[in-house]
Amino acid sequence: MEELAAQAAPGTLVEDRTAAVELAGLTRNYGERAALEDVSLTLPVGATLVAFGPNGAGKTTLLRVLATLLRPHAGTVAVLGAALPEEAWRARGRVGLLGHEALLYRELTPRENLRYHARLHGIGEERVERQLEAVSMSSRADEPVKTLSRGMVQRVAIARATLHDPELLLLDEPYANLDPAAIDVVEPLIGSASRRTRVLTSHDPGRSLAEADLVLGLRGGRVALLKPSSDVAQQEIIELYK
Amino acid sequence: MRSPSLRALSISTVAAFCVALSLVFFYAPIEAEEGFLQKIFYLHVPLAIVSLSGFVIGGLLAIAHLRTRDQRWDLRSYVAIHMSLIFGAAVLLTGSIWARASWGHWWVWNEPTLVSFLIIFLLYATYQPLRFAIEDPERQARYASVFAITAGAFVPLNFMAVRLSASYVHPRVLGSSSNLPGPMMLTFLVSLGAMALLFATLCSYELAAKRTRILLKARSRILGFQ
Amino acid sequence: MRVVGALLRKELLVELRTLESVPGMALFAVTTFVVFHFALNQNTVSGQEAAGILWVTLLFAAMLGINRLFVADADQGGFDGFLLAPVDRSALLFAKALSLLAYLFVLELVAVPAFALLLLGPPLGQALPSLLAPLALGDLGVAAIGTLIAAMTVRTRARDLLGPMLTLPLLVPVVIGCARASAPLLQATSGDGGVGPGSLPLRWLGTLALYDLVFGLIAYAVFDFLLED
């Protein structure tokens, strides 16, 4: 328990239950190559993990494994107390993924898209309206997604990812495509203010380091850096990309 | 690696073929209607039976692969189907020769076995293109297994449907094997056994060759990184 | 159940919005009938010939719909969206098969009258109720196999080519069953010399039903393996 408390930033509430994410020796192959190799870490509930690394380092693979979309090939993975892949069904529905793709049907409107996801998750339609309000998209909610700008699409995607009030947020470069005003709008949903456990990937150490409790550096699928954010200097992160 | 059993298989296959061929040429009587060329029956029908069984076995191996997630089952399934496809080409070839010899045409539609076989051959001919169209090796193996299971279930159903559809007005061109006299039955069974042994031997060779290639690739990869 | 409903609703909504599949299928069928007229150089067809032309045309038109079945999901991240939800994955199979059935239904609503108008010699009226049986059973077979193969080929290279190559051999028994079953219905005179269409051969309906059952079960059993990664 002590190590968990040490990894959380001071002031964060560490609840007395299993960690949000526990990885031990996680390996995921792509043919003969290893997309992820021997990744181990523990993330307490309510904490934020930021993953840095060059493209192809395995950040997206890591998010997709945590989202239960990819099976681990070796090692153990526990997300919100559920062991993957056997108990994936227990974690699904409590995890929200925001990837590079918005996961929205372009011919449908934001409202129709969100209603579809709400029905899949068994959530009422009032929640859809509240989410649209929260990302300031209520006025454009009835236009097909293909007519919206990238920033607007990203906002709707964020509404989708948090629609079911997930305990764990998995965010792949969430602030790309968003202007500062939009970032303020979505902060309560996906930012540190949301009080959810978060794993996000980023290429921007300046901004993300401040939000992080735990910093992960990936290179070639392996862990190159794993430290609490207070011990990490920006220079170390830049080294990862060389 | 496993050369003793491979050698034993090869030897018994050759032996079985010798026995079978001698039976075919010296023991089995010449058929009244079709003459000497009817003897191609001893090649064609065993090829067909072994090939079809191979496809179904490929489906069963695929079930094992999906249940255990062990890639070795997928390799076996692939080899079984691949070999059955090659045998299948031989079936079509020998069937065509036989049709030409006894009926005068290179292809006949009212021999349901041949027709069913053509459909199945066309289906399994897509197995390798399907595999090569998927880059991710793990997904490739998984999808191939799904295909192998579906196609394996298709084999008996297809035979049933085509046989039902065959016209009963025209007699079966290539004759039925259900009421064979004694000497012919014996020759047939021995040929069937020899063909099955040939299938097993060729599959074992191909499996061994593939395993060696995989080992070589793995070792060269390790060496390459050092 | 609720999930299948949600998926089906989304499917039909997208199709209504884009009109990608159904109009193309219907138009293809009608055009094909016209082409057949010129290719056969005949004004009318009947009996087995008519049944063959009808079923082959319906089958190829269905292929167009099958090719497009999962494309929107594969290209717009729909698989992920579904896979993240805490639902039974077979729901996707049911929903897609049901929507394919709906498309086939609309296709036949257009194609069968068009066929009767353009090519069929004997009048269709009396035979139509009996024709519904092979149509329905054939549709079920096409839906089961079509959905399975569509899911298998959508995330491969050359998916437009592989789809038909895989589906057509698998659907041969369906073509046999439907064409043989409907041949007597489309005849000018029935077998025993009377005037009007013959009766429905039950043997073929039995074969079709068996096929539908077996492949429906197989599709249900293996579908999950196509979705996971």
The domain spans of chain C are 2-227
Q: Answer for the pair B161, C173: CB distance below 8 angstroms, yes or no.
A: yes
pLDDT of B155 higher than 60: yes
pLDDT for the residue numbered A231? 85
Q: Answer for the pair A55, A39: CB distance below 8 angstroms, yes or no.
A: no
- For the four alpha carbons of A105, A106, A108 and A110, in that order, the dihedral sign comes to positive
A89 and B CB contact within 8 Å: no
pLDDT of A118 higher than 70: yes
Instruction: Give chain B's mean pLDDT.
Output: 85
Neighbour-count burial for B103-140, b at 16+ CB within 10 Å, e otherwise: eeeeebebbbbbbbbbbbbebbebbeebbebbeeebbb
* Secondary structure element (H or E) that encloses residue C179, with its range: helix C159-182
Residue B35 neighbours by CB distance under 10 Å: 11
Mean pLDDT of A143-152: 92
| pTM for this predicted structure | 0.88
Please list every residue in chain B whose beta carbon sits closer than 8 Å to the beta carbon of residue A30: 136-137
Please judge whether A105 and C78 are an interchain contact, meaning their C-beta atoms are less than 8 angstroms apart: yes
pLDDT of B108 higher than 50: yes
Mean pLDDT of A49-59: 88
pLDDT for the residue numbered C224? 92
Please list every residue in chain A whose beta carbon sits closer than 8 Å to the beta carbon of residue B218: 32
By Cβ distance, the residue of C3, C78, C84 closest to A67 is C84
> Which of the pair, A31 or B150, is modelled with greater confidence?
B150
Helices C47-68 and C159-182, packing angle to 10 deg: 150
Q: DSSP readout, B87-117?
A: HHHHHHHHHHHHHHHHHS-S--SS-HHHHHH
Q: Answer for the pair A86, A53: CB distance below 8 angstroms, yes or no.
A: no
C78 and A CB contact within 8 Å: yes
Please judge whether B136 and A32 are an interchain contact, meaning their C-beta atoms are less than 8 angstroms apart: no
pLDDT for the residue numbered C190? 55
> What does the pLDDT profile of chain C (229 residues) look like in tens digits?
889 999 999 999 999 999 989 999 999 999 999 999 999 988 888 888 999 999 999 999 999 999 999 998 988 887 999 999 999 999 999 999 999 999 999 999 999 999 998 888 888 887 888 889 999 999 999 999 999 999 999 988 888 899 999 999 999 999 988 998 888 888 876 554 445 566 677 888 888 999 999 999 999 999 999 998 7
Q: Answer for the pair C156, B130: CB distance below 8 angstroms, yes or no.
A: yes
Which range in A84-93, B180-189, C162-171 is most confidently predicted, on average pLDDT? C162-171
A199-218 per-position pLDDT tens digit: 999 888 888 888 888 999 98
Residue B90 neighbours by CB distance under 10 Å: 17
Interface predicted TM-score (ipTM): 0.88
pLDDT for the residue numbered A177? 80
Kind of pairing between the strands at A95-98 and A82-84: unpaired
pLDDT for the residue numbered C91? 94
When pLDDT is cut at 50, 70 and 90, the band that residue A14 belongs to is very low
Q: Which two tokens stand for residue A69?
A: 């979309």
**Chain B residues within 8 A (CB-CB) of chain A?**
136-138, 217-218, 221
DSSP structural state of residue A225? E
Q: Which two tokens stand for residue A169?
A: 């947020």
C83-113 per-position pLDDT tens digit: 999 999 999 999 999 999 999 999 999 999 9
pLDDT of B112 higher than 80: no
Is A8 in a helix, a strand, or coil?
A: coil
Q: Which of A33-42, A133-142, B100-109, C26-35 has the lowest mean pLDDT?
A: B100-109
Q: Of C169, C164, C163, nearest to C215 (Cα)?
A: C169
Cis preceding linkage at A85, omega within 30? yes
> Which of the pair, A9 or A78, is modelled with greater confidence?
A78
When pLDDT is cut at 50, 70 and 90, the band that residue B175 belongs to is low
Q: Answer for the pair B193, B49: CB distance below 8 angstroms, yes or no.
A: no
pLDDT for the residue numbered C193? 42
Instruction: Give chain A's mean pLDDT.
Output: 86
